[in-house]
Structure 1
Amino acid sequence: MKDLSQGMYDTMTSLQQKIDASGGVLNMLRASPMGHAVFPGIPAEFTNWRDEQRAWHEGVVLFEQSYHMTELHLRGADAKKFVTRFATNNLSDLHPLRAKQMVMVDEAGFMISDAILFCETDDFLRVVGPPTASNWLQYQAEKTDLAVEATRDENMIVPRERRDVFRFQLQGPNALSLVREVAEGPLPDIKFFYVGEFKIAGQTVRALRHGMAGQPGFEIYGPWEAQAAVRARVEEAGAAFGLRKAGAVTYPTAAQESGWMPRPFPAIFRGEDTRGFREWLSAKSFEGNASLGGSLVSDDLTDYLTEPYELGYGRLVHFEHDFYGRDALMKRKADTPRAKVTLEWNNDDVFRVLQQSLRIDGPRTKFLALPIPMYATFQYDAVQVDGRTIGSSQWLSYSSNAGALLSTALIDPAEAQIGREVTLMWGEPGSRRASVEAHEVTGIRAKIAPVPYFEKSIKKD
């Protein structure tokens, strides 16, 4: 294992060079000090995260998306043909004012990323989501023989004056009523995952109908210069509907109750089929700075990979078209995937860990920050029964609506009985990351609960 200074890392130009200099992918990721993702552009809390969370159950919440998500713009006569090569989805019905959740895998069928694909016109697509999706598609676009051009509308982790569009979501039981109130004229009948166009405060906007926290809602976007007028109108009218704006600490907790896995470990870190991508991607990219943490420690990189079936994306795998990774997914179709479940952590054990993490008279436990205890880009905590590891917990946050810490886990399907008690191992044994304090790993009891934790109502009117 090599011990490299940051100055030496700065001489690395590509992700592959950084991996090689680190002595391998796992060494690189386990040494990275990177913690949980930063959500720029907005305060940590507009009011307080407890009530901001409750808003998507009791009223309506505004999720700000203008600053943290990457957009890749694909333009050209072959734009749709190009994305079809990399999407597991059936995109034959993709047309203007239509959107899709796009799922991408590597040659072995493991997840690279997912993102939302907006069809603005026949020759203009927006890919909106994490940088892992845009990075992969931008690389493929630069070497394709198809008539497509990729341009980047980067997120605002590095601040700048403007982006192409502003974007926010309105979610909750009062979201539809609020949008009807602010829309000028009758609100178009927008089907689930379709896009409608209308005006707010005299400004033309578009809205995608979907849900983020398991509640009905709209993702509204429009020209950057139109946002001040649109926001003012929405906030003015929203007071009567219980509107709260979600801050940067609240936003990432919205996925927990719906069971969406926001950040699967990308398969680009392994395999010769993705080596060209790693040699193209910057060492200072999201992937190059990412960290791997938690109590599940393995020397086998594949133990951290996921595939579409176990993440609930089986319905988005369409074998009637050719796509990257199709043959591998076809072979795996008959396999029994790990079961995706919610873990409801035991409050007494959580309080014990919090108390022991602050002690000065003995060994400490790993601190539990609320509402997001995650302390790595990719967090994997071992889930055990009677000392046997049956799976891993990957995304976790406190839910004011559940009154408990929840995490999304992938476990052996034979062990996935609702209500069963398991033990989550909390901590990072032998951590080499300066951002992780000295501590002892401890067990936290948890109860297996459904995914989603609450019944979804996103398709209801």
Structure 2
Amino acid sequence: MAGNGENRAATLQSLMNAAGGAVELLRSAPLGRYVFPKIPPEFTNFRDEMRAWKQGVAMLEQSYHMCELHLRGPQVIDLLSELSVNKLATFPTMRAKQLVMCGHDGHYLADAIIFHEEDDFYRIVGAPFASDWVQYNAGLGKYDVEAVIDLPLSVRDGDRDIYRLQVQGKHALALMEKLTNNNVPEIKFFHIGEMTIAGRKVRALRHGMAGEPGFELYGPWQDQNIIRGAIMEAGAEFGIRKAGADAYSVTGIESGWMPMPLPAIYHSEEMRPYREWLTTNHLETIGSLGGSFVSADIRDYYVDPIEVGYGNVVDWSREFIGREGLEAKRNNKRRVKRSLLWNEDDVMDIIRSSMFAPEGEGGKYMNIPSPMHATFEADCVMSGGKLVGLSNWSGYSPNAGGFLSLALVDIDSAEPGSEVTLLWGEPDSLRPSIENHKLREIRATVAPAPYFEKVIKSGQQ
């Protein structure tokens, strides 16, 4: 891709050079928050759609927006062992893992779900950052691996390989029993099972989102409408709701999963060849960086896999890219992941001022339910006038009764129940999508992440 002469000028590295650095490039990018393709913001209303996965059952659409990378060959595990932190010595077929990768100095690079479906066939599914990094490395020819990208419909049209739907909520299992005529196979957490729905073969990954039990269903693209129709027809008994794009954006906040940390690719010489491969066809190149936290050093925006919550998947018995740096971070842990519950009065004051105060005097406008205004967001979390953390994903949750965000908070300020202050806005913004406004404070209460206790691993229904 980067070797094509007409694309060479549009690489991430060349754009960084022209802008004066990574921070300057990303903080001036006009792109706003991620927009989910092909599905409406709401099918009914986002409040009831969100409540459905806590109180009943919901169907979430994953067919269009997630990137897939298909890996084939006898050395897939060898490639992944170099790139990922995971325990891969045992990875049988019909299993899935949370694939986690870091940069050469141990900062977080990407995570995704990897499905092992046949002896030499794997799918990487999620945001594009993991697929892009693996595809680039597979193309270097070091391993006998074929990598084929299946891009999301946000950047292309046409059929995809498979559809992907999720059924989740306290009635998810009952709905699945009805769909399969009481023939749901016993599927352990993060295992893959097979079943028949409406006469079509379907595979199901057992997991959940927003802390609730669920099944991720997938099969041939041409079967999608038949399966959707069967789910909605059988789900009517349980008051099923289809979740639109607005509702979907909040699932990560409730379940404690950070969807879009900034990948650690923008600073090091080791990553320069990769930056010269990435072009304006990649989100890493055109994505925007926003929020109240401003630093000239791009590394200040990075996170690491330990503090984000992936320490339990790391295989410390072997070498992988970034191992030494990640071990140093493990031994010097300073932040932990927490939920922040925003103060209702402060939120309403900002919303009111953004709409009715004189131009330039109000706070930054908040979209509801997702006030995100950049691809990668970093808002200051303060305590006693000092910076004690960064908040990087936010949204309104009717299940929580307010606005939540996911943040990395200094250990000394992270006790649940502690009071902190979030700074809302984007000072001296270089992005035309950001209106003239004043930085505002939001009081917030520290809470666990995930905000709701998960039951998906215990098998409670």
Correspondence for 1:124: 121
Quick one: which amino acid aligns to residue 441 of structure 2? G
Matched residue, 1:437: 435
The reply on whether 1:351 has 2:343 as its aligned counterpart is no
Q: What's 1:338 paired with?
A: 335
Aligned to 1:394: 392
* Residue type at the aligned position of 2:451: Y
1:402 and 1:13 map into 2 onto residues whose CA distance is 43
- TM-score with structure 1 setting the length: 0.96
> One-letter code of the match for 2:440?
T
Report the 3-state secondary structure (helix = DSSP H, G, I; strand = E; otherwise coil) of the residue aligned with 1:52: helix
SS at match of 1:85: helix
Q: Is the 8 A contact 2:363 2:439 kept in 1?
A: yes
**How far 1:223 moved relative to its partner?**
0.3
Segment of structure 1 superposing worse, 87-96 or 28-37: 87-96
1:82 to 79, 89, 99: 79
**Which position in structure 2 is the counterpart of 1:227?**
224
Q: Could you give the per-residue CA deviations for residues 82-101 of structure 1, whole angstroms, max 9, x where no partner exists?
A: 21221111012212100000
Summarize the alignment of residues 11-26 of structure 1 with structure 2, pairs less than 5 Å apart: 12-26=9-23
What are the equivalent positions in structure 2 for 1:265-284 lying under 5 Å apart? Answer: 265-284=262-281
The answer on 1:165 being equivalent to 2:157 is no
Distance 2:429 2:102 in 1: 30
Please give the alpha-carbon distance, in whole angstroms, between the structure 2 residues aligned to 1:202 and 1:247: 27
**Secondary structure at the counterpart of residue 318 of structure 2:** coil
Pick aligned residue for 1:69 from 66, 70, 73? 66
2:394 matches 1:372: no
Greater displacement, 394-403 / 379-388? 379-388
Aligned CA-pair RMSD: 1.4
What amino acid does structure 2 have at the position aligned with 1:442?
Answer: R
Do the aligned residues in 1 keep the contact of 2:256 with 2:451 (CA within 8 Å)?
yes
Task: Write out the 4+ residue segments of structure 1 that deviate beyond 2 Å after TM superposition.
Answer: 9-13, 330-333
Question: 1:84 & 1:440 partners in 2: Cα distance?
Answer: 47
Find the aligned partners of 2:388 and 2:198 in 1 and give their Cα distance.
53
Partner AA of 1:187 in structure 2:
V
Q: 1:257, CA displacement in angstroms?
A: 1.1
Shift of 1:333: 2.4
Q: From 298, 302, 316, give the equivalent of 1:301.
A: 298
Give, in whole Å, the separation in 2 of the partners of 1:202 and 1:10: 47
* C-alpha distance in 2 between matches for 1:284 and 1:202: 39
Aligned-partner SS, 1:196: strand
Instruction: Give distance in 2, aligned partners of 1:184 and 1:142.
Output: 45
Report SS of the residue matched to 1:120.
strand
Q: How far apart are the structure 1 equivalents of 2:443 and 2:182?
A: 53
Give the whole-Å Cα distance in 2 for the aligned partners of 1:285 and 1:180: 41
What is the CA-CA distance between 1:307 and the residue it aligns to? Answer: 0.6
Question: 1:201 is matched with which residue: 192, 195, 198?
Answer: 198
Which string of whole-angstrom CA distances, capped at 9 and with x for unpartnered residues, describes residues 184-230 of structure 1? Answer: 56211100000001110110110000111110001000001111211
Give me the whole-angstrom Cα distance separating, in 1, the residues matched to 2:57 and 2:9: 46
State the AA in 2 paired with 1:447. Answer: T
How far 1:179 moved relative to its partner?
Answer: 0.9
Q: 1:447 aligns with which of 445, 448, 459?
A: 445
Please tell me whether residue 241 in structure 1 is matched to residue 238 in structure 2. yes
Any idea what SS the aligned residue of 1:55 has? Answer: helix
How many angstroms does 1:10 deviate by? 8.8
Question: How many angstroms apart in 1 are the aligned matches of 2:92 and 2:250?
Answer: 32
Which sits farther off after the overlay, 61-70 or 357-366?
A: 357-366
Give 1:285 shift: 1.4
When normalised by structure 2's length, the TM-score is 0.96
The answer on whether the counterparts of 2:7 and 2:279 sit within 8 Å (CA) in structure 1 is: no
Give CA deviations for 1:39-65 in whole Å, capped at 9, x if unaligned: 001111000000000001001111100
